[in-house]
């Protein structure tokens, strides 16, 4: 039997668009002789619609889409993700379901059992867990249909204080009593550079536990913070990956169930550091591009300082949006070094990006004059540093308002963590590109961008990081060296280790406690930060919910 | 038997502070002859600690607190809320528990069964639902211990597309087989002006279903967005409220179980519109005060425009923080009317608040000069309006940075809904005071503030609302009249009605569709807004999670 894997990029709440994409792909699969086609989780409405799921008009549109798609399912069976109504008067109103469509109608509905409710996932907010199990038959093959987390009942633990069995049920244990021939998993599984190996392990573990091949169809595309990488997979009975669809783009592939019985003599494994950085690069490009396209924008701006963060952001934006859609501003002050201005100009010219230079000194002077009575007799301090950052933020927003360029934020994760940034200044932006990428990885990204030619000036990469908001300022004046800071931050944020554990791993006590304190007390800044493209297992934003008002 | 109700204001993660408050109150109860004392949900750590619950060091501190509190429980039994570890290796790692402490140790642990996971609640993110039921006995009385949502298995529906039975279990049905004499409910139930009657109805319904009196102990105090109002209650066997503890302040009361058998001849009912506004007033005061106190700040600033929003915010801040802790700036431009300046000065003088005046024209001119090359040949538009708002935002942040005054945001809910505000300008602030209060309610608050004398100048209340960012601008130039706008917004946001339903209730189609479209497309602005004091059943922020990238 031929099975089509449809790895598509949906838009949340765009029913016509999603439906048309789905029905066109069904027609393509029919032409290719497929007897079954598999779409991803919540395909009809896009994942995740969040609180739109609480609206009756939204659910009616989902039902209408399913019925209209079903009409196309003649001579083919389709598995399509959509919410469905819970007919039991007790429990949440909806299920997260896989609809089996054939003979022009809904043949059966299979509901998700395990509802991830952690990190960026809120599924129990909307859905009732499934409690009834059945399999489907297509051309004599018995198939266990599962939805994303349903295969994650026993997952590798990723933080120090976590457990592998978050659920008391195992959907595949329930389904295996029906003796299925294969497992299909429809998913909306977001990318993170430290999750890819976990994902492969989970599928291989399921293959080994139940002795069944797995076909996994993931959605692709970015929705603000979340980047879905696709990378749909087919695993044989040995747990080897027979097929892997592309990452970060739509893909479509037809496989034959006979191939599931084959064995690879040399399984491909590649997970070097270079691959990690290239995946982050690919994720960021998709994240930027989809944010703009799905919001109906094409043009971007940012402030180009000559430093590495704005340089890497610009290079990513040029790849994602095209240099003709970019326009940047250099905004030197009296504290800006000439080499920073030169480096910024060199980068803009290398990337062929239009740039303007506005010296902020006069505007800064006018603020100081306006504030002179209030501030009489007081010394310059952080106030004046922030003021410069905010003047720049205003100029960028003025350009954005006048010409319709969305402002890209250039802060990195190390800065976001310790609050090294000015709210309403350099923290401005419609989208934070680097906000989940530590400074040490920003350097690696710069090297990756320069892998063929010097795009980002070497001087930008080599010089010591500085905000240039006062004379001879260096980041290392107020922060530990980034190599150390990032190591501490990763252990505290991604791995959720206790401070004492981190110290026991060989870090200086004062450095650890200072870094952690800075993370904790700067929640108020991150609360108002732009959405951050998530590439790690624990990004600031929706997936990390810390109390704003607390004792530290 | 004497039972003490301890309605206290805890600080999240402040274990020493919370423990000391709890043990002091235990000693007080002992001195008063109480045999049982009841504290609120998650009392040892404060509600809600959010993702701190995922940290091992945090859970260890909770356990340590419980053990230290238990030592004080000699000659008295205490019911104290705390997370506890789930000993079953399957399922979430924690329970949300009520610890029964007596004889100096933990006597039993009772776990929460119904875990609210909707609106502002994320409890299934952290906790495993309880599945084992038992009651406790204190001095011969059999008590069913429940935790907050446990009594809400059958709740009045508050939106158009919702159901009353969100859970398949009923903890009280399970507990009633043990024939308890009374129900105790420990809670962390946040205030909303349209939730109070629902809460009373739920308790009365439980009384009638199970024929048992209810003692309800709620936490009081604000944690950023959430304001817990206290208002702990004792209901007799008839469902009448025998005792109600104060709203918005700590309270302590001892009741005798004999009184539970009494009946009131004239139950008190008061729920007029005046009471609603006075409750919103009380909630806002507590919200402001606790944000500052718990964050370690005392001083606030804001921009005083002469309009009603900043006037009401200032009056609230004066009550919450004291006029000596306030300092405001008037920032007129050439578009500011003289009456606005006069009204603002009059208010500041009435409230005895220090004020400065900074005319923004010169700063505005310096920006225009800096941008003149970029904007050559282009007309003035929204860019220049936003620029004025952003200059004001910068000046306020400069004052905030220099003197340590936190900036209070003055935007109201109607504006936040339709995006009538400037990001990084008048949307700045550490805390949004009015962001969950519709403009029509802001006027009612102004009248309430003026109930004894003219605090807010009548002219401020009477004149047509205007942002004064261009000549003769009025809010009604771009928005429907607030009476209509707010009615549409309430139906769409709080009641979650479909657009067609709202239109069918007699509103103009174009007005409804425009208002709803504005709400939807301005999610990106609200994403970066300050935390909003929540007073309604559906505030912008944590409790309303809409997709940022979606088709509208």
Burial string for A8-42 (b: 16+ CB within 10 Å, else e) reads bbbbbbbbeebbebbbebbeebbeeebbbbbbbbb
In chain A, the percentage of residues whose pLDDT exceeds 70 is: 99
Instruction: Please tell me the distance in Å from A126's CA to the nearest CA on chain B.
Output: 8
A210 and A338 part of one domain: no
Is B551 in contact with A381 (Cβ distance < 8 A)?
Answer: no
A294 and A176 part of one domain: no
- State residue A478's pLDDT score: 85
Copy the structure tokens of residue A453: 């030619």
Q: Is residue B549 part of a domain?
A: no
Nearest Cα residue to A396 out of B367, B333, B377: B367
- Say if residues B433 and B313 touch (Cβ distance below 8 Å): yes
Q: Which helix (H) or strand (E) holds A6?
A: strand A2-7
The total of other beta-carbon atoms located within 10 Å of residue B230's CB is 26
Give CA–CA dist B270/A102, Å, rounded: 59
A487 and A464 part of one domain: no
- Say if residues A184 and A5 touch (Cβ distance below 8 Å): no
Q: Is residue B547 part of a domain?
A: no
For the whole prediction, is pTM greater than 0.95?
A: yes
User: What average pLDDT does range B502-526 have in this prediction?
Assistant: 97
B291 and B258 part of one domain: no
Q: Is residue A385 part of a domain?
A: yes
Copy the structure tokens of residue A440: 């040490």
Give CA–CA dist A200/A443, Å, rounded: 28
User: What average pLDDT does range A360-372 have in this prediction?
Assistant: 98
Instruction: Based on the residue annotation, tell me whether A35 is a catalytic residue of this protein.
Output: no
User: What average pLDDT does range B399-403 have in this prediction?
Assistant: 98
Average pLDDT, chain B: 96
In chain A, the percentage of residues whose pLDDT exceeds 90 is: 93
State phi, psi for A534 to the nearest 5 degrees.
Answer: -90, 125
Range(s) of the domain holding residue B130: 2-262
The total of other beta-carbon atoms located within 10 Å of residue A261's CB is 10
Is B370 in contact with A381 (Cβ distance < 8 A)?
Answer: no
Give CA–CA dist B197/B184, Å, rounded: 19
B184 and B65 part of one domain: yes
Instruction: Based on the residue annotation, tell me whether A112 is a catalytic residue of this protein.
Output: yes
Residue A550 forms contact with B (CB below 8 Å) = yes
Domain boundary among B212, B231, B262: B262
- Residue A269 above 70 pLDDT? no
- State residue B373's pLDDT score: 96
- Residue B268 above 70 pLDDT? no
- State residue B535's pLDDT score: 98
- State residue A477's pLDDT score: 87
Residue B423 forms contact with A (CB below 8 Å) = yes
A219 and A296 part of one domain: no
Q: Is residue B269 part of a domain?
A: no
% helix, strand, coil for chain A, step of 5? 40, 20, 40
Which tens digits make up the pLDDT trace of B319-339?
999 999 999 999 999 999 999
B284 and B167 part of one domain: no
User: What average pLDDT does range A146-166 have in this prediction?
Assistant: 93
Give CA–CA dist B484/A538, Å, rounded: 43
B60 and B175 part of one domain: yes
Give CA–CA dist B167/A314, Å, rounded: 50
Q: Is residue B499 part of a domain?
A: no
User: Alpha carbon B36 to chain centroid distance?
Assistant: 30
Which tens digits make up the pLDDT trace of A430-485?
999 999 999 999 999 999 999 999 999 999 999 988 888 888 888 888 899 999 99
State phi, psi for A119 to the nearest 5 degrees.
Answer: 45, -120
Residue B122 forms contact with A (CB below 8 Å) = yes
Indicate the DSSP class of residue A51: G
Give CA–CA dist B328/B318, Å, rounded: 11
Q: Exactly one of A148, A149, A413, A523 is catalytic; which is it?
A: A148
- State residue B274's pLDDT score: 73
Confidence of residue B265 (pLDDT cuts 50, 70, 90): confident
The total of other beta-carbon atoms located within 10 Å of residue A212's CB is 21
- Residue A10 above 80 pLDDT? yes
Give the residue from chain B lying closest to A13, CA to CA.
B551
Residue A219 forms contact with B (CB below 8 Å) = no
User: Alpha carbon B529 to chain centroid distance?
Assistant: 16
- Residue B271 above 60 pLDDT? no
Q: Is residue B208 part of a domain?
A: yes
- Residue B269 above 70 pLDDT? no
**SS3 for A310?**
helix
A300 and A391 part of one domain: yes
User: What average pLDDT does range A353-371 have in this prediction?
Assistant: 98
Instruction: Based on the residue annotation, tell me whether A148 is a catalytic residue of this protein.
Output: yes
Q: How many domains does chain A have?
A: 3
A239 and A367 part of one domain: no
CATH of the domain at B364: 3.40.50.620
Question: Chain B contacts of A550, Cβ < 8 Å?
Answer: 11-14, 46, 49, 52, 223, 294
User: What average pLDDT does range A516-535 have in this prediction?
Assistant: 98
Give CA–CA dist A132/A110, Å, rounded: 8
Give CA–CA dist B552/B533, Å, rounded: 28
Indicate the DSSP class of residue A421: S
Which tens digits make up the pLDDT trace of B167-222?
999 999 999 999 999 999 999 999 999 888 899 999 999 999 999 999 999 999 99
Burial of B452 by CB count in 10 Å (0-12 exposed, 13-18 middle, 19+ buried)? exposed
Give the C-alpha distances (Å, rounded to integers) separating A139 from A35, A75, A257: 8, 11, 11
Give CA–CA dist A442/A461, Å, rounded: 10
Is A363 in contact with B360 (Cβ distance < 8 A)?
Answer: no
Confidence of residue A388 (pLDDT cuts 50, 70, 90): very high
Residue B387 forms contact with A (CB below 8 Å) = yes
Give CA–CA dist B479/A138, Å, rounded: 56
Length of chain B: 552
B307 and B241 part of one domain: no
Copy the structure tokens of residue A430: 């419609």
Give the residue from chain B lying closest to A380, CA to CA.
B402
Q: Is residue B509 part of a domain?
A: no
State phi, psi for B263 to the nearest 5 degrees.
Answer: -125, 140
Beta strand A36-38 with A77-85 is parallel
Copy the structure tokens of residue A179: 């003796």
B418 and B390 part of one domain: yes
Is A12 in contact with B402 (Cβ distance < 8 A)?
Answer: no
- Residue A119 above 70 pLDDT? yes
Residue A13 forms contact with B (CB below 8 Å) = yes
Indicate the DSSP class of residue B405: P
Q: Is residue A268 part of a domain?
A: no
- Residue A271 above 60 pLDDT? no
**SS3 for A3?**
strand
């Amino acid at each position: 039997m031929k099975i089509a894997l449809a790895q598509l990029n949906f838009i949340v709440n765009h029913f016509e668009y999603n439906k048309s994409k789905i029905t066109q792909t069904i027609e393509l699969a029919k032409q290719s002789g497929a007897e079954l086609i598999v779409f991803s989780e919540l395909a009809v409405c896009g994942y995740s619609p969040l609180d739109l799921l609480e609206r009756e008009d939204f659910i009616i549109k989902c039902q209408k889409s399913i019925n209209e798609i079903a009409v196309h399912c003649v001579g083919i069976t389709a598995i399509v993700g959509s919410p469905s109504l819970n007919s039991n008067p007790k429990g949440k109103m909806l299920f997260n379901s896989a609809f089996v469509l054939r003979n022009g109608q809904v043949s059966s509905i299979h509901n998700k059992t395990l509802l991830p409710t952690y990190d960026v996932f809120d599924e129990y907010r909307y859905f009732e867990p499934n409690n009834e199990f059945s399999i489907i038959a297509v051309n004599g093959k018995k198939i266990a249909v599962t939805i994303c987390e349903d295969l994650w009942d026993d997952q590798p633990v990723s933080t120090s204080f976590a457990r592998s069995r978050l659920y008391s049920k195992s959907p595949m244990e329930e389904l295996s009593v029906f003796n299925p021939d294969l497992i299909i998993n429809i998913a909306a599984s977001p990318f993170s550079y430290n999750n890819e190996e976990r994902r492969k392990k989970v599928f291989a573990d399921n293959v080994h536990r139940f002795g069944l091949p797995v076909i996994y169809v993931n959605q692709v595309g970015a929705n603000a913070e979340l980047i879905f990488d696709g990378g749909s997979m087919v695993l044989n009975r040995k747990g080897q990956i027979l097929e892997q669809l592309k990452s970060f783009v739509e893909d479509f592939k037809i496989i034959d169930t006979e191939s599931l019985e084959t064995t690879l003599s040399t399984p491909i494994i590649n997970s070097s550091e270079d691959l990690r950085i290239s995946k982050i690069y690919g994720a960021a490009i998709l994240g930027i591009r989809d944010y703009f396209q799905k919001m109906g924008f094409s043009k971007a701006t940012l402030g180009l300082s000559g430093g590495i963060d704005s340089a890497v952001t610009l290079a990513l934006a040029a790849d994602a949006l095209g240099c003709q859609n970019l326009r940047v501003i250099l905004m030197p002050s009296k504290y800006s070094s000439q080499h920073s201005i030169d480096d910024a100009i060199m980068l803009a010219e290398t990337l062929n990006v239009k740039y303007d230079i506005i010296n902020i000194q006069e505007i800064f002077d006018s603020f100081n004059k306006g504030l002179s009575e209030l501030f009489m007799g007081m010394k310059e301090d952080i106030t004046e540093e922030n003021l410069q950052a905010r003047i720049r933020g205003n100029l960028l927003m003025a350009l954005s308002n006048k010409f319709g360029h969305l402002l890209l934020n250039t802060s990195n994760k190390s800065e976001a963590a310790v609050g090294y940034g000015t709210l309403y200044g350099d923290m401005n932006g419609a989208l934070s590109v680097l906000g989940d990428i530590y400074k040490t990885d920003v350097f690696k990204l710069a090297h990756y961008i320069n892998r063929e030619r010097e795009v980002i000036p070497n001087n930008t990469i080599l010089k010591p990081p500085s905000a240039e908001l006062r004379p001879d300022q260096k980041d290392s004046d107020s922060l530990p060296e980034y190599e150390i800071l990032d190591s501490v931050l990763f252990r505290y944020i991604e791995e959720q280790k206790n401070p004492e554990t981190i110290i026991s791993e060989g870090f200086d006590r004062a450095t650890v406690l200072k870094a952690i304190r800075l993370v904790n007390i700067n929640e108020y800044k991150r609360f108002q930060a732009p959405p951050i493209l998530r590439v790690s297992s624990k990004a600031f934003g929706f997936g990390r919910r810390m109390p704003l008002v607390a004792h530290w």
